[in-house]
Copies of this chain bind each other. A is one copy, B any other.
């Protein structure tokens, strides 16, 4: 029997990606799609690549009868997300793709997002959605907070190393290369093709990017002491993909062993042989992440790489993986299609 789901904020890229993934999922039925400004339109008019699917038309959120819904994917902007989720019936499970429930400390939320949190009671029940590290809690959760796509990438490259005490916690540099779909579908001059193609630049450098809040929270919790990484994202002229290049001080062989051990049973985390270099092209459109370790020429230093698709494993794929767990379905259902290359 199918579980009925709704996608709120279906006119953005993560909403469309959810529809794409669920289209071949045997256990889920899309019962409602919301998009306030595009309510009344068929989904296929907003995303023509989905036009052959039999989908409900876009509606406003208040037109949805949530009593018939088992699980809601909430792909709304932060702040909006918490306002909407607090109005949902308690028996509806929620996977939130916004930033609203990622940070457990409301002070941290205010620091990074510039406004007080308005649903701190809900926050206390939310589980951080990095599946591989919160799997059991996610299974029982009512509300799961999808991680930042950059935050997920960096964590896959670092968590096992911090957990095992294998690296110097004071000298971690995450240099990240991100595709443009992560910036969303809202029209902005700096996101135009003519502005972005054929070049690259950094943004949010120097410790201002909001995903640092997640790094700080998670890495400090694992280490049992404050950890502050250095983090510089760059925009790359590609639509999908994140590559994290992480500079650490530690023994490369030990790091590689930590990954092969920690991720041995993970269906979506692929550890490459020592020295091989991942490419975002090889995970494009898929829920897989490729992780690798390269020793530096100076002993005691190494570079860790992680490549994943920001819309899939970094966001909507992760959300579906979590939803599968929350609904008691096989965790990998609908998520095993290989990357689209070239």
Contacts and interface: CB of A to CB of B under 8 A. Distances in A.
A292 to B, nearest CB: 9
Interface residues of A, number: 88
18 contacts: A19-B338, A47-B282, A51-B272, A51-B282, A173-B173, A191-B194, A198-B241, A199-B238, A199-B281, A199-B282, A200-B238, A200-B279, A200-B280, A201-B243, A201-B281, A206-B275, A208-B297, A236-B236
A192 interface: yes
A284 B237 CA distance: 15
A245 B238 contact: no
B338 A279 contact: no
A295 B230 CA distance: 11
Given A199-B238, A237-B237, A247-B230, A270 B51 contact: yes
A177 B277 contact: no
Contacts of A192: 180, 185, 187, 191-193
A23 interface: yes
Interface in A49-64: 49-53
A222 to B, nearest CB: 19
Given A228-B297, A228-B298, A175 B342 contact: no
Interface in A185-240: 185-189, 191-203, 205-208, 212, 228, 230, 232, 234, 236-240
A340 interface: yes
A135 interface: no
A245 B234 CA distance: 10
A13 interface: yes
Interface string A119-133: 000000000000000
Given A187-B188, A191-B193, A196-B193, A207 B298 contact: yes
A286 B191 CA distance: 23
B284 A207 contact: no
Contacts of A341: 16, 20, 47, 49
Contacts of A181: 194, 342
A240 B338 contact: no
B24 A206 contact: no
Nearest to A312: B340
A49 B281 CA distance: 8
Nearest to A228: B298
B198 A239 contact: yes
A240 B52 CA distance: 20
Nearest to A19: B338
A104 B114 CA distance: 54
A197 to B, nearest CB: 6
Contacts of A20: 337-341
A48 B307 CA distance: 12
